Each structure stands twice: as C-alpha cells, then as structure tokens.
C-alpha cells in the first residue's frame, strides 16, 4: 500500500515549465495554460455558482488574477490546485455579492440522512438506454440538484480526478470534511441517477432483499461476542 501522506515536490508539476515561461513574459505560454485548465476552472465556477453568466465572469476573473499573481505562486502545490483555489475564491466573492452569506461549509446545506432509499438493481450498462445528449442532461441535472458544496466536491474529485488532499486544498477544507462531503455527494448523486437507471422492483427482488437482511442480522448476531442474543 503506497504511503498516502501528501507530499509534493515542484518537479512533479507538469505545468512548471509553462509557469516559468509565463513569468519570463511569454504570453503564449500563459495561453497554453488557460487552454489546458479552462475546463476545470469552469467546472469549479459553475458548480459553486450554478448560473452560466456568473460562472463565466468568475472564470475570466480567475485567469486574470492568476496571471497577475503568478509571482506569488509558491511551488508547494501543483499549479492546477493553486488555480482552482483562485476559482473557488472568485466564485465565492460573486456568491457573496448575490447573497448575504456564502461559504462552502455551510452546515445548513448538509443533508443529515445518508441512508440510501433507492436500492433496486440497475439495468446492465444503464447509460445505453439514453442517447448521449440526453444522458448528459440527466447527469448535469442530477449534479445541479446537489447543494453547491457537494457539486464542487464531486466535480473536482470524480470528474477532474483531483486527489482528496488536492480537493481539500483547493476548497480550503480539512481532509475529514472533504472526505465526508465526497461520500455524501456520491450517495446523493447515485440516488438521483437511480430514478433513471434502476429496474422496476419485482416480487423476487423484494424477497431477495428481505432474505439477505435476515441472513445478515443472523450472521452479525452470531459473530458478535456477547451479541444480540444474550451474553457470552
């Protein structure tokens, strides 16, 4: 098992050379950085803001600020993490302008109940039941339905494939807080997609579930020392 402690050396940053060239005044190098990262920045801003016009404004501000502040980029993280952090801050600023408060750790938006409700099996390769454009609409709708903090966590972690540590750093959250949001986001989006992908319940599937529940309880009771059926 690899050591999962977060360690980073500047040599690992594939954007390092483009960053250096930009700092030397090469604007084409910066344009290359923008082209490479606009997708991720846009996913971050649209996740937090929800509205296209706001997301677009936040994206423009992000790339302008990043250029103007590139000399302050200390190479203790990847460029992309640093850039995503700026995108988060720009988005939050716009959000603050629109509302009274804006924070990514707003406890009021945290759904309390994690328990999955939809537990029917899905069709095999359920995405093949929909045309590509329709599937994309379904997925985007499911993500839009999440509270902003869960949207952004899901997009960074599971679409942009940042590590837990990088997601935490980009959002200014602790690692435990990030992990708990990732889990909730995944379960919530699964629930939303289940509406489109699950098979209708059958008598057999209900029976199988009941049987497995009973077997499960028996197994746990038997294995647990001093378990449910009395003392040792």
Q: Please state the closest distance from residue 36 (CB atom) to another protein, in A.
A: 12
Q: Please state the closest distance from residue 78 (CB atom) to another protein, in A.
A: 19
CB burial readout 65-95, b (16+ within 10 A) else e:
ebeeebeebeeebbbbbbbbbbbbebbbebb
Nearer to another protein (CB atom), residue 59 or residue 173:
59
Q: Please state the closest distance from residue 16 (CB atom) to another protein, in A.
A: 21
Nearer to another protein (CB atom), residue 20 or residue 123:
123
For residue 93, CA distances in Å to 62, 117, 150 come to 11, 36, 18
For residue 197, CA distances in Å to 20, 47, 121, 158 come to 47, 24, 9, 19
Please give the residue ranges that form the binding site for another protein (CB under 8 A). Answer: 1, 4, 27, 31, 34, 38-39, 42-43, 46-47, 52, 55-56, 59-60, 63-64, 67, 114-116, 119-122, 126-127, 132, 135-136, 139-140, 143, 154-155, 158-159, 161, 164, 179, 182-183, 186-187, 189-190, 193-194, 197-198, 208-209, 211-213, 215-216, 219-220, 223-224
102-108 own/partner pairs: CB under 8 Å, 24+ apart: 104/48, 104/148, 104/149, 104/152, 104/171, 104/172, 104/173, 105/149, 105/173, 105/177, 106/147, 106/149
Nearer to another protein (CB atom), residue 42 or residue 82:
42
Q: Please state the closest distance from residue 56 (CB atom) to another protein, in A.
A: 5
Q: Please state the closest distance from residue 22 (CB atom) to another protein, in A.
A: 12
Q: Please state the closest distance from residue 11 (CB atom) to another protein, in A.
A: 25
Nearer to another protein (CB atom), residue 174 or residue 211:
211
Nearer to another protein (CB atom), residue 10 or residue 28:
28
Nearer to another protein (CB atom), residue 102 or residue 120:
120
Nearest residue to 121 (alpha-carbon basis) of 198, 38, 45, 175: 198
Query: Does residue 162 contact residue 156 with C-beta atoms inside 8 Å?
Result: yes
């Amino acid at each position: 098992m690899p050591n999962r402690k977060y360690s980073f050396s500047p040599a690992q940053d594939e954007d390092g050379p483009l960053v250096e060239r930009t700092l030397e005044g090469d604007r084409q190098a910066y344009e290359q950085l923008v082209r490479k990262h606009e997708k991720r920045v846009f996913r971050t801003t649209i996740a937090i803001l929800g509205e296209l016009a706001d997301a677009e404004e936040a994206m423009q501000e992000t790339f302008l600020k990043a250029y103007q502040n590139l000399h302050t980029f200390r190479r203790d993280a990847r460029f992309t993490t640093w850039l995503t952090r700026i995108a988060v801050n720009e988005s939050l600023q716009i959000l603050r302008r629109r509302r009274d408060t804006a924070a990514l750790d707003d406890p009021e938006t945290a759904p309390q109940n994690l328990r999955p409700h939809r537990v029917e099996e899905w069709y095999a390769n359920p995405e093949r039941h929909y045309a590509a454009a329709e599937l994309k609409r379904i997925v985007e709708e499911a993500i839009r339905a999440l509270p902003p903090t869960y949207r952004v966590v899901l997009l960074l972690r599971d679409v942009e494939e940042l590590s837990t540590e990088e997601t935490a750093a980009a959002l200014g959250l602790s690692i435990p807080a990030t992990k708990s949001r990732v889990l909730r986001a995944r379960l919530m989006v699964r629930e939303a997609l289940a509406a489109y992908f699950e098979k209708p319940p059958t008598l057999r599937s209900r029976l199988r579930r009941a049987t497995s529940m009973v077997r499960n309880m028996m197994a746990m009771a038997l294995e647990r020392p001093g378990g449910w059926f009395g003392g040792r």
